[in-house]
Amino acid sequence: MFKWLDRRVAAQVGVVGLGLLGGSLLRRLAATASGGIRGIGWDTDADTRERAGAAGLAVSASLEELAANSDVLFVAVPLPELSIVFTAISGVADPAMIVTDLTSVKQPVRDLAGAYGFAFVGGHPMAGTEESGFTASTPALLADATWVLTLDEETDMAAWLTVAALVTSLGCRVIPCTSPEHDRAVARVSHLPHVVAAALTLGAAGDPLPLSLAAGSFRDATRVAATRAELVAAMCGGNAASLDAELTAFANRLRESRPALYEPERLTAWFSAAEAVRKVWPPVADVQTELAVDGQLPEHLLVAGRAGGHVTAVTAEQVVIRTPMP
């Protein structure tokens, strides 16, 4: 890791919450350990802690002990539980400790963290499956994952760079954006698909014939409907305003398709537009730029993030970012 300003070199990385994401992060820290970085985890569930220990992972005796000895603390718990964790660590954590999270909505977490005075960096790895719990975790889940790190007005740049260096050292790509930008984007490409998958699944419920005919398109479109309901509810409910706007836009797009059903050329054009977009996803980020670590860095990072760019490496002097060809 690197030392910016008056921050210590990160030697211990704590992970609070050892479910699918937190467990995968702790496993990846163990699998890619380098430079003296040690990952150690904790979970409120004793059985989960025991499973993590049995898997050869380092586990702390308590949340307070973990917070008191960590340089960077990743909090991987559902949104409703964040305040409990933040309160528990606020009295024992070293003032120099950096706190980041793995929550799928950012503005509510930003608001909450602001009340505690942490050096806080909002985070969200764009990875997951319909499964949950430590037994579903794997270090491969985060391999080459896209990982949002928010850059808001109050974000400590030294803390952001420290977390970005750590995340990229794990083989992940960092997307810089603001908390509101993140929440609007994930409402469209993550939270809306969960609502749509649930609606499609419920539409087939109670009728054996459609379910017996369902194959690849139904399977792929409804995969995330098998995710634990309380996790999805916390995610979507925590981003209600942005998701509400996306539902309205989605309903309008569906209405556009109805009259086209009776006009073959119009219907083909409607599907062709979607086909063209889907065939070039994901975009290839092949233009590399080195940004100097200076006072203009936050602005340059946000511009790059809005253009689809992602950080691939961080050094004490520069940030390497790759963006798609204009």
pLDDT tens-digit readout, 281-304: 999 988 999 999 999 999 999 999
Q: Give the DSSP H/E element, type plus range, for residue 230.
A: helix 229-238
Is the pLDDT at 145 greater than 50, yes or no?
Answer: yes
- Domains of the chain, residue spans: 12-177, 182-254, 283-326
Percentage of the chain modeled with pLDDT above 90 = 90
Domain 182-254 in CATH 3.40.50.300? The answer is no
- Which pLDDT score is estimated for 34? 61
Residue 259 pLDDT grade (very low, low, confident, very high; cuts 50, 70, 90): very high
pLDDT of res. 325: 87
Note the pLDDT of residue 37.
Answer: 87
Higher pLDDT, 91 or 2: 91
H helical segments located in 239-312 = 240-260, 264-279, 297-306
3-state helix/strand/coil string of 67-97 = HHHCCEEEECCCHHHHHHHHHHHHCCCCCCC
Q: Establish whether the linkage from the previous residue to 282 is cis, with ω within 30° of 0.
A: yes
pLDDT digits (tens, 9 = 90+) for 303-326: 999 999 999 999 989 999 999 987
How large a percentage of the chain has pLDDT more than 70? 96
Mean pLDDT, all residues of the chain: 94
pLDDT grade for 12, boundaries at 50, 70 and 90 = very high
Residue 10 has pLDDT above 60, yes or no: no
In tens, the pLDDT along 159-175 reads 999 999 999 999 999 99
Q: Does the pLDDT of residue 4 top 60, yes or no?
A: no
Q: Indicate the DSSP class of residue 224.
A: G
Answering whether pTM is above 0.75, one says yes
Q: Does domain 12-177 have CATH number 3.40.50.720?
A: yes
Reported confidence tier of residue 35, pLDDT bands at 50, 70, 90 = low
Position 1 scores a pLDDT of 43
User: In angstroms, rounded to a whole number, what is the distance separating the alpha carbons of residues 294 and 4?
Assistant: 12
How much is the pLDDT for 323?
Answer: 96
